[in-house]
Structure 1
Amino acid sequence: MALTVGDTVPSFSLPVQQGVGALPDGEMLDITTAYPGKWKILFYWPKDFTFVCPTEIIGYGDLKSDFEDRDAVLIGASTDTDFVHFAWRKSDERLAAADFPWLADNSKLLANALGIVVKDAGVALRATFIIDPDNVIQHVTINGLNVGRNPAETLRILDALQTDELCPCNWTEGAETLQPAA
């Protein structure tokens, strides 16, 4: 059963690769405890060393400071190992610049709990989870393997969620929210 909006993210400690300068050293990360008081943008891609995935990782990386301005942290993940993550970052300076943690969910523990593993392929779908500071999922989008996401849309949705107001279609930060008649 897949987790969805309103569900609490389960606690899992997974290997993490922190950047091109950080050799995999067995460091583990549990996103439910590592970022107290922060929103979390957890996004899975299917596999390292592929074609669509780097465009998404770079796109999210380009908006990292915008997410940080909203008290949100980016967390990437795939079902590859931390060593594969390290090698991929080392092979591409644009990926090396995507300075946020990459979870190595090669055990597929979290991906299976989230319900995003493609059975026949054994990889994760392109899934994005916006998780609030209490580790409750507030938004989920899942794409098939061939279509990339729009990180700016994830940022727009985060902005809307953080208003705690009614936000109409295509609402953007600074626009009026809906006020129901009394």
Structure 2
Amino acid sequence: MLTVGDKLPELTLPVQQGTSALPADETINLGETNGKWKVLFYWPKDFTFVCPTEIVGYGELNQEFADRDTVLIGASTDTSHVHFAWRKSDERLAQADFPWIADNAKKLADALGILHPEEGVAYRATFIVDPDNVIQHVTVNGLNVGRNPQETLRVLDALQTDELCPCNWQEGQEVLKPAA
């Protein structure tokens, strides 16, 4: 599995966003950074139970991520048409207005090393990637346990300080200053 210090694979992949029109071969190039951070999070499968709670949770924080010069990107091993249908079927998901990678060929999930060996779907993996496309944080959950999007935001805040941050550090709190 790729980890801290590794480069995010520079792949161009199918992506789906919004509910106004059927997918039409839109793509996202993960090699482009435009000077921004990325939060890439995978869920195992569309039309499931835990996944929408995470997607909605991240969607509710989308502006918070944007305020930190961070692009939020979701992904699963479903197709763009399945993503579109799921968004159309659930108003909360339709409001989660950020790109969803359709990694049905499993190129990115395989490159990241996050495919469940028996299920053939991605684990619940979250990657925080800096503007140089270097992975700075990784968390991976099993298939049955959801993540805490607020914790992802907290870790992003800490990483962006480029300082020593103690346990449970929150934005606005003092960072650690080693004795000289």
Q: TM-score, normalised by structure 1?
A: 0.97
Q: Give the match for residue 90 of structure 2.
A: 92
Q: Give the match for residue 31 of structure 2.
A: 32
Q: Segments of 4+ in structure 1 off by > 2 A?
A: none
Shift of the alpha carbon at 1:32?
1.9
User: Matches of 1:131 and 1:64 in 2, distance apart?
Assistant: 16
User: Matches of 1:108 and 1:47 in 2, distance apart?
Assistant: 12
Q: Secondary structure at the match of 1:165?
A: coil
Q: Give the match for residue 69 of structure 1.
A: 67
- TM alignment of 1:14-53, pairs within 5 A: 14-33=13-32, 35-53=33-51
Q: Give the match for residue 167 of structure 1.
A: 165
Q: Give the match for residue 82 of structure 1.
A: 80
Q: Give the match for residue 124 of structure 1.
A: 122
User: Matches of 1:165 and 1:123 in 2, distance apart?
Assistant: 36
> 1:41/1:22 Cα in 2 relative to 1: closer, same or farther (>3 Å)?
farther
Q: Secondary structure at the match of 1:107?
A: coil
User: Matches of 2:128 and 2:73 in 1, distance apart?
Assistant: 10
Q: Give the match for residue 140 of structure 1.
A: 138
User: Matches of 1:119 and 1:48 in 2, distance apart?
Assistant: 18
Shift of the alpha carbon at 1:84?
0.3
Shift of the alpha carbon at 1:21?
1.4
Give the letter aligned to residue 92 of structure 1: D
The one of 55, 74, 85 equivalent to 1:57 is: 55
Map Cα deviations across residues 65-118 of structure 1 (whole Å, 9 max, x no partner).
100110001000000000000000000000000000000000110001101000
The one of 147, 167, 176 equivalent to 1:178 is: 176
Aligned length: 180
Shift of the alpha carbon at 1:140?
0.2
What is the Cα-based RMSD across aligned positions, in Å? Answer: 0.6
User: Matches of 1:20 and 1:149 in 2, distance apart?
Assistant: 25
User: Matches of 2:18 and 2:113 in 1, distance apart?
Assistant: 27
Percent identity of paired positions between Structure 1 and Structure 2: 74
Q: Secondary structure at the match of 2:31?
A: helix
Shift of the alpha carbon at 1:22?
3.4
Q: TM-score, normalised by structure 2?
A: 0.99
Structure 2 stretches lacking a partner, 5+ long: none
User: Matches of 2:10 and 2:30 in 1, distance apart?
Assistant: 7
Give the letter aligned to residue 68 of structure 1: A
